[in-house]
Structures are given as structure tokens and as C-alpha cells.
Amino acid sequence: MSASEEFKREYRDTIGLFTTGVTVVLAVQDGEVRGMTANAVTSLSLEPTLLLFCPAKTASMAELCEVGRPFTVNILGSDQEATSNHYAGADMAPSHDVVDWDEAGGVPRIEGCLAALACRIWKIYDGGDHWVVVGEVAALYRDPDAGEPLLFYSGAYRSLAD
């Protein structure tokens, strides 16, 4: 049964009340860094250490989803709205703040992110109009001076309040 457009809009507005952090998922294709903003990211398992993200099947990032491909999940800080907006568009080209994460095998990482997780795609599942991509975590980065996270709530960026 297909949902009506009205129901889909109501669903998006309702699930949008679930506050999420904002991340950028980066991968390399033919030597070029590609990325997408994602808030459908979650921890999945400690043994093995797994997380998941969910790109739309129509997203350019979906073309990069194959078992074994390395990728990073970069957790953005409250000062990184521009980075989030850059990767939320159709252009997946890297912004100026991508660096090689040498300690994790040279995978790309967003400079100034609060934290990053280097992963390899472990499994991919059908999730309706999205893929559920499960990654096995291989390396971790945490900014020792991490500030506040960039949050998304009800269709807008937010920040923590005291």
C-alpha cells in the first residue's frame, strides 16, 4: 500500500520532532572524495562494533555503497552548518575542510568535526526507498577540545541550551 502525499508529509513532520545530531558521511570513488549529510545514523552493536546510516536509493551516495568500501561518519559541531549544507546538496564534491585521516589508513575526515568513525561497509539491507548500510567501525577520532554538537529538529538546525 502506497502512502498518500499528505501522509508522507505528516510522517516527515512527526519524525522531525525526534532531535538528531548532524553528520557527514564521506567515501572515496576513483580517487575523489564524495560526501552526504546524514542524520539517519545510529550505533548498532558493540560486538562487532557496528553503526548504520541510511542513504536514499536515489542519492548519489547510494552508488558508492558496496560491501568492503571504506567510509567515515563525521559528527559535526555547532559551528559547522555551512559544511552540513554543502553536503546536503546534489554536489557531493568535498568542501575545503576535508583532510586525510592518516591514523585510520588515509580515509577522509572533516577537519574540525567533534568526532569521526572510520568504517568499512559490512552489509547492506533494503529499507524501502532507502538502503540500510551497516558499517564495521575500525578507528575512532575525538576532538580533545570538542565543542557543542550541531543538532537538527523540526526541519531546522538547533543548538544545546544551558
Low-confidence ranges of the chain (pLDDT < 50): none
Q: Set out the domains of the chain in order of their start, with CATH numbers.
A: 19-152 (2.30.110.10)
What is the pTM assigned to this prediction?
0.92
Question: What pLDDT does 1 receive?
Answer: 64
Question: What pLDDT does 161 receive?
Answer: 80
Question: What pLDDT does 156 receive?
Answer: 94
Q: SS3 sequence, the chain?
A: CCCCHHHHHHHHHHHCCCCEECEEEEEEECCEEEEEEECCEEEEEECCEEEEECCECCCHHHHHCCCCCEEEEEECECCCHHHHHHHHCCCCCCCCCEEEEHHHCCEEEECCCCEEEEEEEEEEEEECCEEEEEEEEEEEEECCCCCCECEEECCEEECCCC
